[in-house]
Amino acid sequence: MHELGIVFYIIRDVKQVAEENHAKHISKVVMNIGEVSTVVPYLLTDCWDWAVKKEEMLTGCKMEIETIPGVTYCEDCHQEYGTVEHGKTCPHCGSANTYLLRGNEVEIKAIEVTDE
């Protein structure tokens, strides 16, 4: 379960941003998680809920996850298609000359601050 390690990196980055902006408490973190990123959303939020209890600045902080769909591009027919449904082979022309456009993201989208 690499989600716990990811949570530690998110906490580090969120705390750094909060300190740079003189924030006292973070109430919500919104994450963009790609559909094919290998991060399991429910495991990430479970680890988050456990870890934030140990950080005063993050006590009670919620994590919201927005899923970014996996989209692949075919270099032969110049079409985009759903990665999860079709994998590496283009459903339009059958080519394997493809690459992932989006859906592998693991990024902090937003941090919500309170004055508490």
Tell me if the pTM is above 0.75.
yes
DSSP string for residues in 75-107: TTT--EEEHHHHTTS-TTT----EEEEES--EE
The position carrying tokens 């022309």 is 93
Cβ-Cβ contacts under 8 Å for 33 (sequence gap 6 or more): 39, 41, 44, 65, 66, 67, 68, 105, 106
* pLDDT over threshold 80, residue 23: yes
pLDDT of residue 114: 85
Cβ count near 88 (within 10 Å): 13
Instruction: Supply the CATH classification number for the domain 3-69+102-114.
Output: 3.30.2320.50
Q: What pLDDT, in 10s, does the model give residues 3-22? A: 999 999 999 999 999 999 99
**What separation in angstroms does the CA of 32 have from each of 66, 67, 105?**
5, 6, 6
